[in-house]
Amino acid sequence: MWNALGRPSRSVDYDIIVSGGKNVWTDGDPAKQSQLMAVLAANLRATKHPNLGDRKEAWASRIDQKAAAQANAAAPTEAAFAQANALTMQRRTLADSAQVGLTRLKRDLKNLGMTEAQVHEIIPDDQSAPSAAAPAPQPAPAA
């Protein structure tokens, strides 16, 4: 296409068709690539540039064929992606619910007259981050 346009250093027509450069159309999630290819084919068909007139439909048809093949290849993964997204949302909801439950339990324990130290015996602090007071590990003795 660039050659058909006369290999310009800048071309508004090319920029409108390809909008953002080739990486937008070639990189990214392969499962969604067919949708981008359909947009590219539509952009190509919509151009009014005289140098592309007789070839643009052939190029767009080739892109459509490749998009259909890409969509067929990605189709079996769509159910797995949907399941993974649903499980991610459920995990986030479960974590949020657990946080609310722990906050309410702590409030109830404090309302019963427990001190902060007593509450932390029941609900310990998060131990995922290493504490600053933890001693450094000792190297193993050489044999």
The pTM score is 0.54
Is residue 136 situated within a structural domain? no
Q: How many domains does the chain have?
A: 1
Is residue 86 situated within a structural domain? yes
Lowest mean pLDDT among 21-35, 65-79, 106-120: 21-35
Is residue 7 situated within a structural domain? no
How many whole angstroms separate alpha carbon 74 and alpha carbon 130?
A: 42
Average pLDDT of the chain?
Answer: 84
For 88, the domain range is 12-121
Is residue 106 situated within a structural domain? yes
More confident residue, 43 or 7: 43
How many whole angstroms separate alpha carbon 127 and alpha carbon 50?
A: 67
pLDDT tens figures, 12-60: 777 778 877 777 777 778 888 888 889 889 988 988 888 888 888 999 9
DSSP assignment string, 41-91: HHHHHH---GGGTTTHHHHHHHHHHHHHHHHHHHHHHHHHHHHHHHHHHHH
Is residue 127 situated within a structural domain? no
Residue 101 clears pLDDT 90, i.e. is over it: yes
